[in-house]
Amino acid sequence: MNMEIAIQQFSQQSLKVLREEIQTALDQIKTRYGLSELALERIHFAADSFTSKITGKIQNPETKNFEQNEAKFFAIRHGLPVDFFGSKFIYDGGTFTITRLIVSRPKYPITAQCEEDGRIFKFTVQLIKELLKTHRVIDITPTDITGTLAIHQFNNINNL
């Protein structure tokens, strides 16, 4: 057994490194078995132990159509943009991507993942509506200077 680093106790820093390695291993398993999702959820820890949940989904066109229709219906019903699923926004200094919709969770039905540390967060519909109006990240190619300038001006207007 080749151990490069021995963890003496769990901390946020050690779990951040472990999370990245575990997710990399899960991504390999996801690819090997043709899954559409295999993710490590929120980690709870003490000094000597940690627990987490792993979620997975199969690639199934029928399931995907149902999820897309459910997300579209949910968006229309709650006044969200129809393309909200997969959207990126900035919140509390981090960039988040909307990754999941759980309609059976009425108070916090929207789940987003932080790009910086991989942590998963739950959001209310109202907060997501506000964030997508004011802090939505729009991908623009580097050669589109006019678009970048417009985004910069748009962000400055929102910050007034």
Number of structural domains in the chain: 2
On the question of pLDDT at 40 being above 70, the answer is yes
Instruction: Say whether both 118 and 69 belong to one domain.
Output: yes
Instruction: Say whether both 65 and 50 belong to one domain.
Output: no
Residue with the bigger pLDDT between 90 and 146: it is 90
Instruction: Say whether both 103 and 147 belong to one domain.
Output: yes
On the question of pLDDT at 62 being above 90, the answer is no
Instruction: Say whether both 75 and 20 belong to one domain.
Output: no
> In the structure encoding, which two tokens stand for residue 110, read together?
């929207």
Instruction: Say whether both 52 and 106 belong to one domain.
Output: no
Instruction: Say whether both 24 and 103 belong to one domain.
Output: no
As to burial, measured by CB atoms within 10 angstroms (0-12 exposed, 13-18 middle, 19+ buried), residue 112 is buried
Instruction: Say whether both 143 and 74 belong to one domain.
Output: yes
| Site of tokens 């919709």 | 101
Kindly state whether residue 112 falls inside one of the protein's structural domains. yes
Kindly state whether residue 129 falls inside one of the protein's structural domains. yes
CA–CA distance, 49 with 15 (Å, rounded to integer): 11
Q: Do residues 41 and 120 lie in contact, with contact meaning Cβ atoms separated by under 8 Å?
A: yes
Kindly state whether residue 6 falls inside one of the protein's structural domains. no
What would the mean pLDDT of 4-16 be, rounded to a whole number?
A: 88
pLDDT band at 3 (very low <50, low <70, confident <90, very high): low
What would the mean pLDDT of 29-36 be, rounded to a whole number?
A: 90
Name the 3-class secondary structure at 146: helix
Kindly state whether residue 123 falls inside one of the protein's structural domains. yes
Instruction: Say whether both 38 and 98 belong to one domain.
Output: no
Instruction: For the chain, give percent helix, strand, coil, nearest 5.
Output: 40, 25, 35
Instruction: Say whether both 25 and 82 belong to one domain.
Output: no
The pLDDT tens digits for 63-85 are 777 778 888 999 999 999 988 98
pTM over 0.85: no
On the question of pLDDT at 14 being above 50, the answer is yes
Instruction: Say whether both 123 and 49 belong to one domain.
Output: no
Task: Please write down the HEC assignment for all residues of 1-49.
Answer: CCCCCCCCCCCHHHHHHHHHHHHHHHHHHHHHHCEEEEEEEEEEECCCC
On the question of pLDDT at 154 being above 50, the answer is no
Instruction: Say whether both 65 and 47 belong to one domain.
Output: no
pLDDT band at 46 (very low <50, low <70, confident <90, very high): very high
The total of other beta-carbon atoms located within 10 Å of residue 149's CB is 10
CA–CA distance, 26 with 20 (Å, rounded to integer): 10
pLDDT band at 59 (very low <50, low <70, confident <90, very high): confident
| Least confident piece of the model among 5-19, 108-122, 138-152 | 138-152
Instruction: Say whether both 46 and 72 belong to one domain.
Output: no
The pLDDT tens digits for 119-148 are 899 999 999 999 999 998 876 555 544 544
CA–CA distance, 69 with 123 (Å, rounded to integer): 20
The residue range of the domain holding 53 is 12-58
Kindly state whether residue 20 falls inside one of the protein's structural domains. yes
